[in-house]
C-alpha cells in the first residue's frame, strides 16, 4: 500500500457563495496571511466561543 492509499481524508464542508463573496473571503484570508480553510476554522471557533459553545476534539456530532 502506498502512502497515498494509507492517508485518511479529513472531512470537508462545501460552502456555496457568489463570486464577489468568494473574492472578499480570499482578500480577507490573504490580509490575515491565512489559507481559506484556516480562516474558516478561525471564524467558526471565534463564533463558538462568543456563543459559549465548548469545543472539543472529541466532540461527537449532534443533530
Taking only the tens of pLDDT, the chain with its 63 residues reads 566 667 888 888 899 999 999 999 999 999 999 999 999 999 999 999 999 999 886 555 554
Do residues 16 and 2 lie in contact, with contact meaning Cβ atoms separated by under 8 Å? no
> Does residue 47 sit within a domain?
yes
pLDDT of residue 62: 55
Is residue 5 in a domain? no
Residue 41 lies in a domain: yes
Domain containing 34 equals 17-51
Phi and psi based region of residue 2 (left: phi greater than 0; alpha: psi -120 to 50; beta: remaining): beta
Flag whether 60 is in a domain: no
Q: CB neighbours (10 Å) of residue 25? A: 16
User: What does the alpha-carbon distance between residue 55 and residue 48 come to, in Å, rounded to a whole number?
Assistant: 8
Place of cell 497515498: 4
- Domain count within the chain: 1
Q: The pTM is what? A: 0.69
Structural domain contains residue 8: no
> Is 26 inside a domain boundary?
yes
Amino acid at each position: 500500500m502506498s502512502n497515498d492509499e494509507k492517508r485518511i481524508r479529513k472531512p470537508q464542508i462545501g460552502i456555496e457563495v457568489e463570486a464577489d463573496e468568494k473574492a472578499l473571503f480570499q482578500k480577507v484570508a490573504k490580509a490575515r496571511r491565512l489559507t481559506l480553510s484556516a480562516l474558516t476554522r478561525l471564524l467558526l471557533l471565534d463564533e463558538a466561543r462568543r456563543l459559549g459553545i465548548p469545543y472539543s476534539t472529541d466532540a461527537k456530532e449532534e443533530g
